């Protein structure tokens, strides 16, 4: 244990040039009398400390034993006494949704590597949230390649074993029928009201601090597919831009599937720093939150954390 290993570092004995312990060294005068005075105040202090450390060796051993015993008992308690580990969190009834969510990774060459890394984290977060969701969606990553794939290969080799996700090098338009596609984009004049379980909702895999404003809207129009923005304005007031990070959009959809309420989904998912304020029926602010940049990469390594909790 870290604690023990730190403590077991006994105070170092001071040595003289011949390698003898200075603590036991006494200067001997010509008539053979020990001259204790030769030890400086600092050396005497060190010697005392060392003696104390030696004297307490047994006590420390005993304490370690007790702590070990306590941990063993605690483990037995947690396992219900029969060695069978049980889940502290009751397993919820998971019903997968038929709704498809696509993260469109075709903007790779528009991003600097630091933003690609942020996107990578956001995708990890989407994956982890979907794995623990009550109604997990059919998750697709399309156009995977370039810097993002390189980052995944370098930083998280485990992605090749990800389950319940379709990872494609192809563009989403080659994977999903055009009429099923709805591009989610804050620039669309259409406001999403309901989710259609038969549709595939596309999120732009882009961390651009909105330098490429309107790019996903333009792409959706070029391709002639449906597009819509999240109904943020109808349910919350925000003191920051309504352009959200990929994982926030993804998590809002998951939360909506679970709660059936946009307002609850927004308030649950949007971080306190985002400045989201729930709007009451009468139009007043119900809940205040602070501001955050939408392209923030401040999420922890979500895959690991959430997988552990799942
Ligand atoms: C950081 S944004 C990228 C912004 C980018 N300039 C663009 O034109 O989409 C990441 C993605 O999240 C989705 N998104 C963000 N805010 C949204 C909103 N308010 N409504 C719908 N989708 C949104 C879009 O798919 C967007 O491409």
**What pLDDT does 258 receive?**
97
The protein residue whose alpha carbon is closest to atom 15 in ligand 1 is 244
The helix (H) or strand (E) run that includes residue 173 is helix 172-175
Name every residue whose Cβ is closer than 8 Å to that of residue 96 and which is 6 or more positions away in sequence.
135, 136, 137, 138
Tell me which of 208, 282, 293, 295 is the catalytic residue: 208
Q: By mean pLDDT, which of 28-37, 73-82, 233-242 is the weakest? A: 28-37
Mean pLDDT of 169-194: 98
Mean pLDDT across the chain: 80
Query: What separation in Å is there between the alpha carbon of 123 and the centre of ligand 1?
Result: 14
Which atom of ligand 1 lies nearest, measured to the CA of 294? 1
User: Which of 243, 246, 269, 297 maximizes ligand 1 atoms within 8 Å of its Cβ, making it the mutation to test the pocket?
Assistant: 243
Cα(235)–Cα(220) distance, rounded to whole angstroms? 25
Query: What separation in Å is there between the alpha carbon of 145 and the centre of ligand 1?
Result: 20
Per-residue burial over 109-138, b = 16 or more CB atoms within 10 Å of its CB, e = otherwise: eebeeebbbbbbbbbbbbbbbbbebebbbb
Asked whether the predicted pLDDT for residue 134 surpasses 50, the reply is yes
Instruction: Count CA atoms closer than 13 A to 298's CA, side-chain side.
Output: 9
Query: What separation in Å is there between the alpha carbon of 184 and the centre of ligand 1?
Result: 7
User: Which of 207, 244, 274 maximizes ligand 1 atoms within 8 Å of its Cβ, making it the mutation to test the pocket?
Assistant: 244
Asked whether the predicted pLDDT for residue 163 surpasses 60, the reply is yes
**What pLDDT does 116 receive?**
98
**What pLDDT does 5 receive?**
34
The protein residue whose alpha carbon is closest to atom 26 in ligand 1 is 204
**What pLDDT does 310 receive?**
30
CA distances from 245 to 22, 131, 186, 297 (A): 64, 19, 11, 9
Q: By mean pLDDT, which of 4-8, 64-68, 116-120 is the weakest? A: 4-8
**What pLDDT does 39 receive?**
84
Mean pLDDT of 217-225: 98
Entry pTM: 0.68
Task: Enter the tokens of residue 239.
Answer: 């003191």
**What pLDDT does 19 receive?**
43
Check if 208 is active-site. Answer: yes
Q: Which residue has the tokens 């219900």?
A: 80
Asked whether the predicted pLDDT for residue 241 surpasses 80, the reply is no
User: 3-state DSSP call for residue 182?
Assistant: strand
């Amino acid at each position: 244990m870290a604690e023990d290993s730190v403590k077991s570092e006994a105070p170092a004995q001071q040595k003289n040039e011949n390698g003898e312990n200075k603590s036991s060294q006494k200067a001997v005068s010509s008539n053979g009398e020990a001259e204790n005075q030769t030890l400086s105040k600092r050396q005497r202090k060190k010697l005392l400390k060392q003696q104390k450390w030696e004297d307490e060796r047994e006590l420390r051993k005993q304490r370690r034993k007790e702590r070990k015993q306590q941990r063993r008992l605690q483990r037995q308690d947690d396992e219900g006494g029969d060695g069978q580990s049980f889940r502290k969190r009751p397993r919820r009834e998971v019903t997968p949704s038929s709704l498809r969510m696509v993260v469109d990774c075709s903007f790779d060459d528009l991003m600097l590597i630091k933003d690609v890394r942020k996107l990578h984290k956001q995708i990890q977060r989407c994956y982890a949230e979907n794995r623990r969701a009550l109604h997990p969606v059919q998750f697709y990553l399309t156009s995977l390649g370039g810097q993002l794939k390189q980052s995944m290969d370098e930083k998280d080799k485990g992605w090749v074993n990800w389950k319940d996700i379709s990872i494609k090098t192809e563009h989403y338009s080659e994977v999903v029928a055009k009429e099923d596609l709805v591009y989610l984009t804050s620039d669309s004049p259409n406001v999403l009201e309901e989710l259609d379980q038969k549709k595939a909702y596309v999120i732009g895999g882009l961390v651009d601090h909105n330098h490429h404003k309107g790019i996903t809207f333009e792409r959706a129009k070029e391709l002639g597919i449906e597009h819509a923005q999240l109904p943020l304005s109808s349910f919350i007031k925000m003191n920051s831009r309504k352009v959200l990070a990929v994982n926030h959009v993804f998590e809002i959809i998951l939360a909506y599937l679970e709660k059936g309420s946009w307002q609850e989904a927004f308030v649950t998912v949007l971080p306190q720093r985002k400045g989201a304020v729930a709007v009451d029926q009468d139009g007043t602010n119900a809940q205040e939150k602070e501001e955050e940049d939408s392209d923030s990469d401040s999420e922890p390594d979500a895959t690991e954390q959430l997988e552990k909790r799942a």
